[in-house]
Amino acid sequence: MSAQATCRDTTFAGLPACELALPQGDRLLVALYGAHVLSWVSGGQERLYLSPQSLMDGQAAIRGGVPVCFPQFNQRGPMADRLPKHGFARNVAWQADAAELASDHARLTLRLNDNTQTRTWWPQAFALALHIELSQGALQLSLEVHNTDDQPLAFSGALHTYLAVPDVTQATLQGLGGQPEWDSLTDTHAQAADTLRFAAEFDRVYEAGPQPMTLNQTLHISQSPSWANTVVWNPAQDLCKRLADMPDEGWRQMLCIEAAQVYEPITLPAGGRWAGWQRLQVLSP
């Protein structure tokens, strides 16, 4: 009988967490606080960047890994004046279902329903689910939104993925060539170059492309069409020094490539549902 994947309850920096592990060696660690994926090891390498200076106090948002941004992206949303930056889903505790385990994959779902804490920010009734699917060389994260209210629900958001890179100044990202691009630093619009490079601060929103992106010829990144945008971000040296939860040189080891809804909120009718995913796949050497 072949070995099965495992799921065990653990802690990380004092926060309750779940660890998924495959017999082939791939591992994933997710904190219940924020349903925040902290680590994904595949092929013996850490594929996500987690800041060693991130606050793990169960109050502040965690810097790195995969934050879940909901119900707004940055401070763009129907209630931007009332909601925390990037919403509140990354700042509250979620609940984990029992994992589904097989010999070649593991699936774990974390859930968040409206509660007394969320209603201090947002009066909406809702149910969120983050489905984590780990297989050899691949990770897929799927966010589901269910409007359990009797009024419409409008939201924006993102899977704000921090990918680990050896040196971002040498990194290349392909797959967005020709897509509409907004540079938020200069407030200018253009078409994306075939190959993106990161020699300076970079913060751009793209119309999501139909093909997977390729980072450093080592990782494919794809997303469902239900996310309208792809965001690519690196703070570079000057901004990084102003981020209290990042080492001064941490910017060199990370690049955010996010499946996102930035410009136009998604509106669900009463009882309506929406789902959007991002998939990361390691390319064979």
Residue whose pair of structure tokens reads 């509250």 in the numeric block: 92
- Residue from 105, 131, 160, 220 carrying the catalytic annotation: 160
Q: Which secondary structure element, helix H or strand E, spans residue 245, and what is its range?
A: none
How confident is the model over 154-208, as pLDDT tens digits?
A: 999 999 999 999 999 999 999 999 999 999 999 999 999 999 999 999 999 999 9
258: three-class secondary structure by DSSP:
strand
- Beta strand 219-223 with 273-282 is antiparallel
d(CA 116, CA 98): 25
For the question of residue 258 being annotated catalytic, the response is: yes
What is the Cα–Cα distance from 80 to 285, expressed in whole angstroms?
44
Closest CA to 125 of 145, 95, 96, 97: 145
d(CA 64, CA 256): 9
Q: Which DSSP state fits 147?
A: -
146 carries an active-site annotation: no
> How many whole angstroms separate alpha carbon 176 and alpha carbon 213?
7
Stretch 34-47: mean pLDDT, rounded?
Answer: 97
Cβ 250 vs Cβ 278: under 8 Å: no
- Residue-wise pLDDT for 75-121, tens only, equals 666 666 677 677 899 999 999 999 999 999 999 999 999 999 999 99
Q: Residue 151 and residue 257: Cα distance in Å, rounded?
A: 33
Question: CA geometry: angle at 142 spanning 106 and 128, to 5°?
Answer: 110
Q: Does the pTM of the predicted model rise above 0.75? A: yes
Which helix (DSSP H) or strand (DSSP E) does residue 160 occupy?
none
What does the pLDDT read at residue 58?
86
Of the CA atoms within 13 Å of residue 48, those in its CB half-sphere come to 27
Residue 148 binned pLDDT confidence (cut-offs 50, 70, 90) = very high
The domains found in the chain, sorted by start residue, are 6-282 (2.70.98.10)
